[in-house]
């Protein structure tokens, strides 16, 4: 499937507001609601559209800290960590990276004790560095420039 101008327009609409009706998207891009539905389904099937979600503020539901934690895995511990990190509820984003560290994680925590306990879980996998997030400069973007 080629991403023609209509599909790009549909993607732009969905990125701005995934709750728009197919009829409204159709009005914006100039095609019918059934055509929008068919194109969206094809893009979902091809993995172009990965999903839809509600973005929840961790601070409004009781998390007081957000931190960025990097991990430099010990020899032979990277693969086990890559499996284990998927089980940590605190981790909201995790990337395998190049450079001195192997992993960078964005985590949300209830308080300092929770942070300490979380860091203690990482000790057997490698050396970690933690930075506390003070504020968000750019609101989380889920938008790919189209």
- How high is the mean pLDDT in each 10-residue block of the chain (146 residues)? 88 93 97 97 95 88 96 97 97 97 97 98 98 89 68
Predicted local confidence at residue 1, as pLDDT:
58
Predicted local confidence at residue 55, as pLDDT:
82
Domain positions in the chain are 5-45, 58-132
Q: CATH topology for 58-132? A: Alpha-Beta Plaits (3.30.70)
CA angle 81, 128, 118 (to 5 degrees): 70
Which value, in Å, is the radius of gyration of the alpha carbons in the chain? 20
Predicted local confidence at residue 145, as pLDDT:
72
CA distance 60 to 57: 5
Contacting residues for 128 by C-beta, under 8 A, at least 6 apart: 69, 70, 71, 72, 119, 122
Query: Residue 1: exposed, middle, or buried by beta-carbon count in 10 A (0-12, 13-18, 19+)?
Result: exposed
| Domain 5-45 top-level CATH class | mainly alpha
Helix-helix angle 22-29:5-16, to 10 degrees? 130
**143: DSSP letter:** -
Predicted local confidence at residue 142, as pLDDT:
64
- 0.85 surpassed by pTM: no
CB 22 within 8 A of CB 33: yes
Contacting residues for 117 by C-beta, under 8 A, at least 6 apart: none
Predicted local confidence at residue 2, as pLDDT:
77
């Amino acid at each position: 499937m080629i991403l023609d101008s209509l599909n790009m327009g549909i993607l732009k609409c969905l990125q701005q507001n995934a709750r728009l009706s197919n009829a409204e998207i159709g009005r914006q891009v100039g095609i019918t609601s059934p055509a929008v539905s068919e194109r969206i389904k094809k893009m979902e099937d091809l993995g172009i559209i990965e999903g839809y979600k509600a973005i929840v503020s961790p601070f409004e539901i009781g998390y007081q800290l957000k931190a960025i934690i990097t991990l430099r895995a010990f020899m032979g511990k990277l693969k086990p960590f890559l499996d284990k990190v998927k089980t940590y509820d605190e981790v909201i984003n995790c990337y395998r990276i190049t450079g001195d560290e192997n992993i960078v994680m964005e985590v949300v925590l209830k308080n300092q004790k929770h942070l300490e306990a979380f860091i203690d879980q990482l000790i057997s996998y490698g050396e970690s560095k933690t930075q506390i997030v003070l504020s968000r400069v750019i609101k989380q973007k889920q938008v790919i420039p189209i």
